[in-house]
Amino acid sequence: MSLSQYLIEEQLKLPQATGDFTALMSHLVYAAKIVSREVRKAGLLDNILGSTDQTNVQGETVMKLDEYADRIFTHTLTRCGHLCVMGSEEQEEIVPVPTGYKIGKYTIAIDPLDGSSNIDANVSIGTIFSVHLRSSPQGTPGTKEDLLQKGAKQRAAGYIVYGSSTMLVLSVGVGKGVSGFTLDPSCGEFILSHPEMKMPESGGIYSINEGNYNYWSDEVKNYIRDIKSIEGGRKPQSARYIGSLVADFHRNLLKGGIFLYPNDTKSSKYPKGKLRLLYEVAPMALIAEQAGGMAVTVDGQRILDLQPSELHERTTFIVGSKKEVEHFLTFVRK
Ligand code: P6P
């Protein structure tokens, strides 16, 4: 089954469906194919590798492929007639629908190319997206409030991982589960390769940047020490950390495990955590929960219950197999 057929079958299950969501997703998939094509040849074209002399809203050096991906997704989606407003990691302010184009009923928040510091090293990178129904009146220009909605209300969420193959992992909402589609370059279609994805209930992998050890809270330190323990003949968990959220998350989704990005308690670098709630953490949290996993903050709040207040706000992120996250929570929930 192709992704197009899957989306149409999902649409047919909803008597009230108008086809707008299917059309929106089709435009997203088109843009993803274009970005995938450019990522695949990044090493060959010197005009898109390396860094520009600019920094993005995060203060990070913008890699040319970042800019390219942002342009492709922004141009395609704001003109497709099914969005009222868009948010992008690469753009400080909300991105409106250009004058003269139809205003739709959905919003999308996107990280066009996450993990971009790895592009030159040929490490897997990805796109992460989150779709909501607008909350403001139909037909009017979308607002920031249309984007600032709780993750539990997402109409869809997913990511594209540009790895050994290009895969799109998607949940079309709460209760809809997770499906994985692999891009077949020979026909340019995403094919259903991983139906009904389930995160193993436990897993032997933990992913955290141990270089930040001295910034962690005592609770996080105690947890990491515990899962590395060999006392009483225990088997320590394996450390796997790519430094690209999509890649680390995708591996744990398939194999089981836990990913942690806690906050810095002893530095001003990331006092609230590094990852972005709207277009990195909330969509990944929906995927995790819909695949049977869990996603919480470092103090045990459910990610999907968080009310965003700013477009680029950061949060701590603990996500993975249900038993692994529950074990983490015994260290932070007293
Ligand atoms: P650190 C990539 O820059 C990113 O935003 C995520 O993809 C990744 O999980 C995280 O930052 C890595 O951060 O501080 O470990 O390099």
What are the tokens at 247? 């890649």
199 within a domain of the structure (yes/no): no
Tokens 């394996």 -> residue: 238
Q: What is the pLDDT of residues 298-328, one digit of tens each?
A: 999 999 999 999 999 999 999 999 999 999 9
Task: Please give the angle made by the CA atoms of 29, 34 and 40, to the nearest 5 degrees.
Answer: 120
Q: Domain total for the chain?
A: 2
Same domain, 221 and 275: yes
Which residue minimizes the CA distance to atom 4 of ligand 1?
115
Same domain, 47 and 159: yes
129 within a domain of the structure (yes/no): yes
CATH classification of the domain holding 185: 3.30.540.10
Same domain, 144 and 270: no
Phi, psi for residue 86 in degrees, rounded to 5: -135, 150
Closest ligand 1 atom to the C-alpha of 259? 9
Q: Ligand 1 center to residue 118 CA distance, Å?
A: 10
Q: What is the pLDDT of residues 86-107, one digit of tens each?
A: 999 999 999 999 999 999 999 9
CATH classification of the domain holding 315: 3.40.190.80
Q: In angstroms, rounded to a whole number, what is the distance separating the alpha carbons of residues 192 and 167?
A: 10
Which residue minimizes the CA distance to atom 13 of ligand 1?
243
Same domain, 15 and 113: yes
Same domain, 61 and 117: yes
> CB within 8 A of 74, min separation 6: which ones?
86, 88, 91, 95, 112
Inter-CA distances, 25 with 57, 77, 83, 103, 136, Å? 26, 9, 11, 16, 21
Binding residues for substrate are 114-117, 209, 241, 274
CA-based nearest residue to 117, from 175, 56, 45: 56
Q: What is the pLDDT of residues 186-230, one digit of tens each?
A: 999 999 999 999 999 999 999 999 999 999 999 999 999 999 999
Q: Ligand 1 center to residue 20 CA distance, Å?
A: 34
Same domain, 183 and 220: no
Domain boundary among the residues 172, 194, 216 is at 194
Higher pLDDT among residues 43 and 250, named by residue: 250
Domain boundary among the residues 148, 163, 194 is at 194
- Ligand 1 site, CB within 6 A: 114-115, 117, 209, 243-245, 248, 274
Which residue minimizes the CA distance to atom 14 of ligand 1?
209
20 within a domain of the structure (yes/no): yes
Q: What is the pLDDT of residues 61-86, one digit of tens each?
A: 666 888 889 999 999 999 999 999 99
Sheet strands side by side (includes 83-88): 95-96, 83-88, 106-114, 125-133, 156-162, 166-171, 179-184, 189-194
Q: Ligand 1 center to residue 26 CA distance, Å?
A: 29
Same domain, 149 and 44: yes
The residues pairing with 61 across neighbouring beta strands, listed in sequence order, are 55
Same domain, 37 and 140: yes
Q: Ligand 1 center to residue 199 CA distance, Å?
A: 22
Which residue minimizes the CA distance to atom 1 of ligand 1?
243
Same domain, 219 and 185: no
Same domain, 250 and 183: no
Q: What is the extent of the structural domain holding 159?
A: 3-194
Check residue 302 and report its DSSP letter.
Answer: B
Q: In angstroms, rounded to a whole number, what is the distance separating the alpha carbons of residues 218 and 241?
A: 21
Domain boundary among the residues 167, 194, 221 is at 194
What are the tokens at 299? 């103090």
pLDDT surpasses 90 at 42: no
Same domain, 224 and 158: no
Same domain, 145 and 287: no
87 within a domain of the structure (yes/no): yes
For a ligand 1 pocket test, name from 114, 160, 210 the mutation site with the most ligand atoms within 8 angstroms of its C-beta.
114
91 within a domain of the structure (yes/no): yes
Neighbours of 205 (CB within 10 A): 21
128 within a domain of the structure (yes/no): yes
Q: In angstroms, rounded to a whole number, what is the distance separating the alpha carbons of residues 314 and 324?
A: 23
CA 20 to chain centre: 22
